[in-house]
Amino acid sequence: MVTLESTAERSSDITMVRVRLTNTRSTVQTVQLRSVLAGPTWPARHDGVVDPRWDGDRWTVTIRPDRSRGVGFASPSQPIDPPVEVVSVARHDEASPVRSTATVLANLDGWRPTNEVLAREP
């Protein structure tokens, strides 16, 4: 079973949604969520890039057994309860990887050289 916890809070004319999915099954699960808010979905960005697991108002994630994954997004719509619905839950097929090149690149940490390797100005 995959459990879903979500909250939607309104502040400054923006609804902030937080979601936590927990996989209680003994197998890896692929889950797809959909925002049920009336307006557009504004996914969080990291360094200006939207997480590639987002497709419009849907978010797809693979969760290992006994693990949790979280996601957040914003919308100009009024909050409702619940703000998201589970569209599908399926056992992850290891033979067909769901990680696209865009997903791999988006999950890489930012990198910059340490101060020790930078040339110092006299």
Query: What are the angstrom distances between the C-alpha of 38 and each of 18, 85, 92?
Result: 17, 13, 30
> In this structure, how many other beta carbons lie within 10 angstroms of the beta carbon of residue 47?
6
Structural domains in the chain plus CATH codes: 2-109 (2.60.40)
100 has pLDDT over 70: no
Q: Cβ-count burial of 60 within 10 angstroms (0-12 exposed, 13-18 middle, 19+ buried)? A: middle
39 has pLDDT over 60: yes
Q: What is the mean pLDDT of the chain?
A: 86
pLDDT digits (tens, 9 = 90+) for 41-79: 999 888 888 888 888 899 999 999 999 999 999 999 999
Residue 41: its pLDDT value, please?
93
* Full strand arrangement of the beta sheet holding 29-35: 54-55, 58-63, 29-35, 84-91
Q: What is the dihedral of CA 99, 63, 59, 20, to 10 degrees?
A: -150
Q: Cβ-count burial of 44 within 10 angstroms (0-12 exposed, 13-18 middle, 19+ buried)? A: exposed
The answer to whether 35 and 86 have CB atoms below 8 angstroms apart is: no
Residue 96: its pLDDT value, please?
57
22 forms beta bridges with: 3, 68
CA 37 to CA 57: how far, in whole Å? 9
pLDDT digits (tens, 9 = 90+) for 81-97: 999 999 999 888 766 55
Residue 93: its pLDDT value, please?
76
